[in-house]
Every structure is written in C-alpha cells, then in structure tokens.
Structure 1
C-alpha cells in the first residue's frame, strides 16, 4: 500500500508535511498537477529573472502555513477537529485551482467574466463528486458558509495564509528583500475570539511590518512599470488574436488555446469548456506567442516580439494621468513611422492603484490580555498605520521606442 503521508522539501518554508491522505490524492490529481505549468507571477521573470515559481509551489506553501496556524490555535486552547483541519487544508490547497495561463494576467480573457475563484468552485465541486463528498466541508469553508468564520479568514482575508505565502515566496524568488515577512511570528500571534480570527496585541508591529511589506511588494514588484506593462501586453496579444480569429484569420495555435480564441460565449461552462480549460497552461500561450512573432499582422507580431525578445516599448510612470492630446500625438507618430492606421494598438495608458489596508473590508482585530478586542487602527501602539489607509494610484503610458 502506498504511503501518502509525505514530506516535501520547499526552499521557502523547509519541510512541508502532508498529514492527511486525501491531500496527497488531490495533489496528484491532473487538475492540481496543471498548476506546475501556471506561473505564479505571470511574466514577472522578464523583470526579475528568478521569478520562475508556479501556482503549484504557492498552493503547497499556503497549505503548510494553514497547518502551522491551526497547530498554533490548538495550543492556545481553540478546539479544531481532525475533519476541520483536513477541510481547511483542502480549501487553501485548492484556492487557486481555477487559475488560467499566466495567473492574473489573463483573468476574464479566456472565459469572459469567469473570475478564477468562480472556476475554482466549479472544479472543487467536480473533485468533490469524484471523491464522493469528502470536500463538502472544505467548500463550505472556502465560500465562507461555515459557522466558525476564522477558518474562512485564514483562507481569504487581509491576513490570510494565502497572502503570507505569496509575499514570502515572491520576495524569495524575485530577490526583493523588502517583501520578506516573518510569517512564523505572525502565526504565533494568532488567536480566536467569538469564532473570529484575532491577533494578540503584542504582535502589532509584526502586523504593521506585514502590511508595509505587502505595500512595497506591490509598488516595487507587481506594479513595477515594466511588470505592469508586460501583463498589459499579454492581454493585448490575446485581444488581438481573438479579433483576428473573429475576422476569419486562421491563426496557428495549440488546439486548447485555439478553442478559447474561437469561442466567445460562456454563460454556462460545458463539459468541453472545462475539459479544454483544465488542459490549458502557460506553455500553450507561450508557444502561440512564439509562432505569432512572424505573423503577417503587424500589430500582433510586434506585440509578440515584445514578449519573446523582450523588446519593451518606452514607458513613463506618473502620479497624474497623461492627457488625451499627448496620447494622440504618439499614435500619429506611430502611424507615420510604421505606415499603419491602427497605431492606437501600440500606444496606451494603464493605471494601477493600491489600498494597503482596508479599514472596512475584513479589518484586522487585536486582542489584549484581558480578552478585549479592538481594530488595528484603534491601537495606541500603532506606528505606521497612517501611511496605509489611503489608496495610491499611478499612471503608465507606453509607446514604441522607434518614435523617440
């Protein structure tokens, strides 16, 4: 009989335990194995060469942190049954199962407004059927329907194990040390009051450090102007490809990607939609982009060369939006230089905004030694909160370098 209680060696967290056999069965399932071929950070490796890690790595890391968080809570007297532990670990393990190629970059591009969480639930339900109802409680927790709300908070909130893993992992693989957070310290400060997740008051500085680390990672890594541009160009490529296909242009592409370029309506996902989606990964998209660098459509080939040969357009970042006239001038120059009429396909303005800490959406609560709870922003000991409660927005304009 196969031993399924494995230990996995992870470069970020060290040894990761698989304490329940069903976790191993889910990890071995083709739906989950596909995550090995889905980049955690899209095209970020074009800017930070080490960022080659996948959703597979991240899901295992988040599962590990869930196990550690529950162990901590049990030591503090919180009753957690084996079934609850198993369900919480399954829920976080599967939280990204619905991601498509290049993760967030192509969200909603392939199946209209099918957000990855919507597809995740769909795939969880299919797995639940396959595993004869063993994921019932995990799905309940994932959807926030379980009566003990701290489980859902550990899965999805402003202080969940998902964020803790991706910050530490992305910091590790990009080499950006500002994003490194002391997850062990944060987890050791976790507690439960009235079935809600709270943090021991003495852990306030670890929480502030976590929130500022997240803020730095967004502006220094995820919203880095070239990273934001790479993500935008990837969307532009798929948009252009879908447009050409709609004009009856026969684009060469792997069959699973071609399926989504041709089909436009996804009101209800069919069996074929799901089969195709769960076979689709970064490799399909990258292979197509590589082929399209030589396509006769100038815009498509130009965009694809940007990704394959890292020929990024000129980009300028500002805290204020660029004027329409400025954009029009660039479009006219592009049309003139390349002798085309659709220069607006190669010129554009994108924006990125960030609210480091939302005081309304699932606020973080601290608990003092007397058992009294209060919001993070109400603590007299907070130091950095003032710079985290306001949203920041940046604008990025891009255009071909040839017109400089």
Structure 2
C-alpha cells in the first residue's frame, strides 16, 4: 500500500521553503474548503492597476503560517511557555484566519452576503471543520475568538502587529512591485516577547516598527486605496447589484447555480446556516468572472456596459479630493451622462457617483503595539517613537472621490 508523505514543503517566492508541520495541518490544507483559496484573489481587482498582483489567499495563508512558526521559535527561545497543543492550535488559527473570504476578497465582502464579514464566515468554516475533524480545532477556535487564557496567542493572530499584517504587506509589496511596502518581518519577529501575558516588542526593534507602520500607510494610499482600484471594485459591486435587480424582475441571466442562489436570495447574518455555508464554499473568482463575461452580451444597457468596463479595462474616470465633492460637480457629470445615453436617474447612478476612502495606519485605541523598554517598563510605540509621523498617522485621514465615464459610450 502506497501512503502519501504528509509532511510536505511548499516553495514560496517570499520565504523560500515552507514546511507543513503536522498531518492535521496537511489534511486541513488538502480540504476543499481551504483549496478554494487558490481561486480567491488576495487583492481583488488590483491587478488592473498592478499587473503582477495575481497572488491568492492560498499564498497568503501559507505565508502567515510560516511566519507563525518563526514567531513560535523565537518566543520559545526566550523561555515563553508554549505547549505542543498550543503551537498546533496557533498554526491552525492563523492558517484558517482568512478562509471565509468570498470572491475577490474585500471587493465583494458585503455584496454576496449582506452584513456578514469574512471573519464571521471564517469562524463558521472553522466550526464546521472542527466537527469533521472530531474536535481537533477546538483550541484553535478559542485562540481565534480571543477566549484562550493566554492573550498573546490571539494577538499573534489578530492585532496591529500580527502575522497576518506582516505577511500581506511583504507579499503585496512583492507582487505589486511597490517597494515602499516592504517590511523586515524577520527582524520584527526576532524582537517579539511576552510580558504579563501580552505580546510586546523589545525596544531595539522600535525603528523596524516605525517602518512597518509607515509601510502600511504607503500601501493603503498607493495600493489598497488606489483610485483606479477603488473604481474597479465599485464597478464589481454595481454589477452584482444590477444583476440582482434584473433577476428579481424575472429576467434570466446566465451564471453558475451557486452564484444564482445568492443573487436570487437575500442572505444575511440571520439565515447564514450550514446549507448556505456549503453553497458559499463553492463560490470563487471564476464564478464572478465567467458571469461578467457572459453578461457583456446582456440586452440591459447598464449591466452590459458595466461588465464591458471591467473586462476591457475601460474603467470610470476618478478624481480624489481632500474635501467632499460638491453637488454641482456631481450634478454636471450626472446630467451629461444621463442625457447622452437616455437613462433614468436610477440607471445613471450606476455610472456617476461619489464616495470616500479612509486610511488609519495605526489605531491607538485598539491593541496597541507595546514596546518593552530596557528598564522593564512597557509603553505604546506612539509615545516612545521619535518619528512624529507615528502620532500624526494614528488619526483617520479621509479623502473623497467622484467616479464618472469620461468620453465613454
């Protein structure tokens, strides 16, 4: 009888070889729920701005697990007690932290399922996997939910200096080619320690933390909130909204049966049960792209044009301002496009609209990044940093945008 070697390795372009540490983790990676992440884009439609940004949630999850292995090694070296069971629970929690993402990640988070974020869906997936794996994920669930007594374990999974952020900044920087986002994850992990059950960073790593926070700020303005990427994501959401409207009117649209289910039915936190979770698990980027390609031929002007804009990258023109967009400016573009294409007001709203984007690189009110000083005292990095921008960028910066077709149709 031939048995497969379950302690395999992955070759990652960022870290080199990533080792799978246990048969349970191998089996979780091999599960169809997790394999689906190979078909979920890490950065939505950002590849329309940065052509190299085609990496997936699968890449990211494995990268996070690798960084967590390094963090565990460092903490054990510093005499922080971590049992074998806690190690495995920690690795499973970080591996599965994003398993609930829907097609194109954040771009459609509240479009397919209303008012249910990916963290809640990740929790649903983990609970279902825990049933299937005979309770093997119970400890991982406690860590993921922040209910485990050792608080620092949850902070390694979800905080302002967690393995998730360390990986996605480095990975997204690599695949987009935006060098400003590159962080020294190895240095930051090496400086980790635990004091009174809380995660801290040793004082000699403070400059690396400053660079990490600034890198996050740069990546949000240059990549995650790039105006063209924002416009593309808005089109994606509007395509789903319009297709749902048409279907509810009785029109027939060609798409996969699982996507059709979510278009025909209102799914929210109150009815998100196991049956719907299973249907959700069969949705990925391919369903959406296939539908958009088909809907280019729709007899409905709005749906057809929106789909062609995405497929052919003829996106809406975007202007970003520091002040809210005036009603006069919105009205000017609105009426021009409406009259040119003989549309109703409701139809025109799909193409001409305003919105806002927000960036807060460091939140002083949520699980602060604490620095362990040489005298043994612990203090928030914003108070210790001699880089004045750390205090400045802990405030929310809001910008306003207007989208409209320019010389189009």
2:285 aligned partner: 282
Q: Is the 1:337–1:403 contact (alpha carbons within 8 Å) kept by the matching residues of 2? A: no
2:370 corresponds in structure 1 to 365
Shift of 1:403: 6.5
Q: Matches of 1:284 and 1:71 in 2, distance apart?
A: 41
Q: Which residue of 2 aligns with 1:43?
A: 45
1:316 to 314, 319, 338: 319
Instruction: After TM superposition, list the pairs within 5 Å mapping 1:43-82 onto structure 2.
Output: 43-82=45-84
Structure 2 counterpart SS, 1:114: coil
Q: Please give the secondary structure, in 2, of the residue aligned with 1:350.
A: strand
The 8 Å contact of residues 235 and 306 in structure 2, kept in 1 or not, is answered as yes
Change beyond 3 A, Cα 1:56–1:403: closer
Q: Which residue of structure 2 lines up, in the alignment, with residue 172 of structure 1? A: 174
Contact 2:296 2:303 in 1 (8 A): yes
| CA displacement 1:67-120 (0-9 Å, x = unmatched) | 101110101110111111100000000001111100011112112111111111
How do 1:5-24 residues align onto structure 2 when only pairs under 5 Å count? 5-24=7-26
Q: How far apart are the structure 2 equivalents of 1:172 and 1:34?
A: 23
Q: Is residue 391 of structure 2 the alignment partner of residue 389 of structure 1?
A: no
- Aligned-partner SS, 1:401: coil
- Looking at structure 2, the residues matched to 340 and 381 of structure 1 have their Cα atoms a distance apart, in angstroms, of 56
Deviations 1:104-143 (A, max 9, x none): 1111211211111111111101100100000000000000
Native 8 Å contact 2:49 2:228 kept in 1: yes
C-alpha offsets along residues 164-185 of structure 1, whole Å, 9 cap, x if unaligned?
1000000000000000000000
**In 2, distance between residues paired with 1:257 and 1:82?**
41
2:240 alignment partner, one of 238, 249, 273 = 238
Gaps of 5+ in 1: none
Displacement of 1:387: 3.0
3-state SS of paired residue (2:110): coil
Q: Which runs of 5+ in 2 are unaligned?
A: none
CA contact (8 A) 2:358 2:399 kept: yes
CA shift, 1:330, in A, is 1.2
How far residue 402 of structure 1 moved from its aligned partner, in angstroms, is: 2.3
Q: Give the deviation of 1:276 after TM superposition.
A: 1.2
> Whole-Å Cα distance in 2 between the matches of residues 102 and 352 of structure 1?
19
CA RMSD of aligned residues (A): 1.3
Deviation of 1:382 (Å): 4.4
- Residue correspondence of structure 1 range 102-141 to structure 2 within 5 A: 102-141=104-143
1:316-361 CA distances to partner (integer Å, 9 max, x unpaired)? Answer: 1111111122212211111111122231221011211011111111
Show the 5 A alignment for 1:93-242.
Answer: 93-242=95-244
Q: Which moves more between the two structures, 257-266 or 372-381?
A: 372-381
Give every structure 1 segment of 4 or more consecutive aligned residues whose post-TM-superposition deviation is greater than 3 Å: 380-384
* Aligned mate of 2:330, from 327, 330, 336: 327
- Of 241, 260, 263, which residue of structure 2 is paired with 1:261? 263
Q: Output the CA distance in 2 between the equivalents of 1:191 and 1:271.
A: 39
More divergent stretch after superposition (240-249 vs 189-198): 240-249
> In structure 2, how many angstroms separate the alpha carbons of the residues matched to 1:270 and 1:197?
35
CA–CA distance in 1 between the matches of 2:46 and 2:252?
Answer: 30
- What do residues 161-220 of structure 1 show as CA deviations (whole Å, max 9, x unaligned)? 001100000000000000000000000000000110000011100000000000000000
Task: Name the stretch that deviates more: 336-345 or 232-241.
Answer: 336-345
Q: Is the 8 A contact 2:206 2:385 kept in 1?
A: no
Greater alpha carbon shift after TM alignment, 238-247 vs 269-278: 269-278
CA contact (8 A) 2:210 2:385 kept: no
Count of matched residue positions in the alignment of Structure 1 and Structure 2: 404
Q: Does 1:401 align with 2:406?
A: yes
What residue in structure 1 maps to residue 309 of structure 2?
306
Whether the 8 Å CA contact 1:204–1:382 is kept in 2: the answer is: no
Give the Cα–Cα distance (whole angstroms) in 1 for the partners of residues 184 and 348 of structure 2. Answer: 47
Counterpart position of 1:352: 357
- 2:378 is aligned with 1:376: no
Q: Which moved more, 1:112-121 or 1:52-61?
A: 112-121
Report the TM-score, using the length of structure 1 for normalisation: 0.98
SS at match of 1:105: helix
Shift of 1:369: 2.5
**Match in the other structure for 1:293:** 296
Distance of 1:129 and 1:253 partners within structure 2: 32
CA contact (8 A) 1:59 1:94 kept: yes
